[in-house]
């Protein structure tokens, strides 16, 4: 929408809600619009909104609060989220309340200049997001339970706690990774910093070619469940590839790894007599849900605390079936599970291991099989698979993974013994009653696995960018939770400020970083979760860190210096987490210098060279050796 039109809206609305004009200068869009509209001769308030459709909309004169409630989120591209929450809280009982909502929408934090004039358009909303803005519906007397009122109250609680989820309309560009655009406005590009497409396989030419060929020959859908017309050569092939990747007898593919974890734990926990499942306190919701569905007894041990795990194992009778469920890379904090020690305890106390490698497959190991393969780097990189026995990966009973992150597609899987896989196949309703993944998806995912088994090039480059970003953030006084993995959790400590920081990064700096709030992380430990990819360059890193510095200053967020100066009496959870990750935990990168096999100047960050993966063309070798046959260090302790 033209700036003059925005100013016109503010000017006419201020006739009934005067205070807004005095404070509208806090918003970069409103302040520019007001200046231009002061000399405007226009007397109407017809609003023409930009976009592909070029649609127009007329507003009443003077503008009413009810009109603003319906359309105000399209006025300012930054404020739609806050307006929704403010409307919901205030109920828009009067025009004065409407003015207050717009003031809250703009906020003092939006006062920084617009960088390079790149203003993202207003965000579209999911259908559900509008529910939070409505006042509580009147109860229908004599009609029984007030369903709509119940829905409203539940959503109101989410809004009041700043945990209501808004979905940004992010459209990643296949030919311009890591770039994307918002809604339909392709002219306003953004840099995507939080995608789980860790290796950019979703745009790899071999993957795309395989998918196109498959869809041309076999169509879009699988045609049914595995039992009814949905079993085909594509699903058989990818299950063979996955079993080979993890050196297991069999594998089973699901629509998602959420379904895979839920199904496997549900079946095992319900079928094994008197089963006890020991679960890491930071496990993913899919594992928690599977344990609940199983009805089995559960024991939760402190995150990565092997003494606590052993204490609980010791309390269970030897003959009782036990499952230890844990993850290799924990996605919100980036910590790494002590796989080797967990296996030792499982063998000692008669338990089986259930390892979620969702955020590790394609990212670690000489063939991308995950952290379990990575820990035996030299053996797995140099020995033929048929001759390998007794490695860490071999000693795991069940491995689960995803096709939707490093492999750039969609779906999940389990891998284990043939009898285990058959048990899940035969009893899991999540598998039995779900339509098979489309043939093109299976073909593309299998190709991505094969690409990442053949070379470590993109894995190496991704790790370089991760090191570079972590180093730059700490140098810039921006606090992060240090860890050995590719996850970069930037610590904020407030749900409201984490959301606002994300909005400012997007609206003023064209950087998309998603905030992570409760219940994904604990209250007071809210954060921004950043995941570099091979396509991010040193220049991208520099621009992001600069943007974060400006946002940190605008919002008065706590810095490294602030957290180090905080009391050490247990009263400050965020400071305790930061200090513990910096000074107590072993955060040495899983990818060692020897594994990266790069010149020293790149490892130390002293080189300005930028290695940008050109996936549009045929894959080209990078200026460092392939590590498939390189000698790595001996086994690395987890």
Q: How far is CA 36 from CA 4, 6, 504, in A?
A: 6, 10, 24
Q: What does the pLDDT read at residue 49?
A: 34
* Strand-pair category, 412-416 with 488-491: unpaired
Strands annotated E in 140-220 = 170-172, 179-182, 185-192
pLDDT at 541: 98
> Quick one: pLDDT at residue 48?
38
pLDDT the model gives residue 386: 67
Query: What CATH number has the domain spanning 170-197+457-603?
Result: 3.90.1150.10
Q: Mean pLDDT in the chain?
A: 81
CA distance 267 to 252: 14
- Pairing mode, strands 179-182 and 185-192: antiparallel
CATH 3.40.640.10 domain residues, the chain: 203-407+418-454
Numbered ranges of CATH 3.90.1150.10 in the chain = 170-197+457-603
Quick one: how many helices (H) and strands (E) in the chain? 25, 16
- pLDDT tens-digit readout, 544-581: 999 999 999 999 999 999 999 999 999 999 999 999 99
Are the C-beta atoms of residues 331 and 487 closer than 8 Å to each other?
yes
List 312, 405, 497, 499, catalytic entry:
405
User: Which stretches within 219-294 are classed as H helix?
Assistant: 233-246, 257-271, 285-294
- Reduce the secondary structure of 536-558 to three states and give it as a string: CCHHHHHHHHHHHHHHHHHHCCC
Low-confidence ranges of the chain (pLDDT < 50): 2-5, 10-26, 28-31, 33-69, 71-75, 77-132, 601-638
Please tell me the predicted confidence (pLDDT) of residue 133: 55
Residue 439 host element (H or E): helix 439-454
Instruction: Express each pLDDT in 128-138 by its tens digit.
Output: 444 445 677 77
- pLDDT, tens digit, 9 for 90 and up, residues 85-135: 444 444 433 333 433 333 333 333 333 333 333 434 434 444 444 444 567
Is CATH 2.60.410.10 what the domain over 203-407+418-454 is classified as, yes or no? no
pLDDT at 188: 86
Asked if 405 is an active-site residue, the reply is: yes
């Amino acid at each position: 929408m033209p700036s003059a039109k925005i100013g016109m809206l503010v000017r006419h609305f201020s006739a009934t809600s005067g205070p807004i004009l005095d404070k509208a200068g806090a918003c970069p869009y409103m302040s520019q619009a007001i200046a231009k509209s002061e000399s405007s001769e226009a007397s109407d308030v017809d609003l023409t909104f930009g976009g592909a459709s070029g649609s127009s909309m007329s507003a009443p004169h003077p503008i009413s609060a009810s009109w603003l409630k319906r359309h105000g989120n399209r006025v300012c591209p930054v404020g739609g989220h806050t307006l929704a929450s403010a409307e919901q809280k205030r109920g828009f009982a009067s025009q004065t309340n409407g003015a207050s909502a717009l003031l809250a929408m703009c906020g003092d934090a939006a006062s920084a200049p617009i960088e390079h004039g790149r203003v993202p358009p207003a965000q579209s909303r999911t259908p559900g997001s509008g529910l939070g803005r409505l006042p509580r519906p009147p109860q229908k007397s004599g009609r029984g339970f007030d369903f709509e009122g119940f829905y409203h109250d539940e959503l109101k609680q989410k809004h009041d706690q700043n945990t209501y989820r808004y979905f940004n309309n992010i459209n990643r560009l296949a030919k311009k990774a890591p770039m994307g655009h918002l809604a339909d406005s392709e002219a306003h590009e953004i840099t995507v910093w939080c995608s789980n497409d860790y290796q950019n396989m979703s745009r790899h030419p071999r993957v795309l070619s395989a998918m196109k060929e498959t869809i041309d020959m076999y169509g879009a859908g699988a045609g049914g469940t595995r039992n009814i017309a949905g079993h085909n050569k594509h699903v058989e092939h990818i299950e063979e590839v996955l079993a080979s990747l993890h050196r297991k007898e069999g594998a089973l593919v699901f629509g998602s790894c959420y379904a895979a974890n839920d199904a496997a734990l549900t079946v095992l926990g319900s079928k094994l007599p008197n089963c006890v499942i020991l679960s890491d306190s930071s496990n993913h919701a899919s594992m928690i849900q599977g344990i609940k569905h199983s009805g089995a007894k559960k024991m939760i041990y402190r995150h990565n605390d092997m003494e606590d795990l052993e204490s609980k194992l010791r309390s269970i009778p030897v003959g009782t079936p036990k499952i230890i469920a844990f993850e290799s890379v924990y996605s919100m904090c980036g910590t790494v599970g002590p796989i080797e020690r967990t296996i030792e305890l499982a063998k000692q106390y008669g338990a089986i291991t259930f390892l979620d490698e969702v955020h590790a497959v394609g990212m670690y190991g000489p063939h991308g099989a995950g952290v379990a393969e990575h820990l035996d780097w030299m053996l797995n990189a140099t020995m033929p698979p048929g001759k390998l026995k007794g490695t860490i990966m071999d000693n795991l009973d069940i491995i689960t993974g995803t096709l939707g992150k490093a492999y750039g597609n969609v779906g999940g899987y389990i891998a284990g013994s043939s009898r285990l896989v058959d048990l899940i196949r035969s009893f899991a309703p999540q598998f039995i009653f779900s339509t098979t993944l489309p043939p093109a998806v299976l073909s593309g995912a299998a190709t991505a696995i094969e690409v990442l088994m053949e070379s470590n090039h993109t894995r190496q480059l991704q790790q370089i960018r991760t090191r570079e970003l972590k180093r730059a953030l700490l140098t810039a006084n921006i606090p992060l939770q240090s860890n050995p993995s590719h996850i970069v959790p930037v610590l904020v400590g407030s749900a409201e400020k984490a959301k606002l920081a994300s909005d400012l990064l997007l609206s003023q700096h064209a950087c998309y970083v998603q905030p992570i709030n409760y219940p994904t992380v604990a209250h007071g430990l809210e954060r921004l979760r950043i995941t570099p990819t091979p396509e991010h360059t040193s220049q991208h890193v520099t621009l992001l860190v600069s943007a974060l510095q400006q946002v940190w200053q605008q919002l008065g967020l706590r810095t490294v210096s602030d957290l180090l100066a905080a009391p050490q009496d247990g009263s400050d959870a965020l400071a305790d987490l930061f200090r513990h990750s910096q000074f107590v935990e072993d955060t040495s990168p899983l990818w060692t210098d020897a594994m990266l096999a790069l010149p020293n100047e790149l490892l130390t960050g002293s080189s300005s060279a930028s290695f940008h993966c050109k996936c549009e063309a045929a894959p080209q070798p990078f200026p460092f050796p392939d590590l498939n046959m390189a000698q790595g260090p001996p086994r690395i302790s987890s």
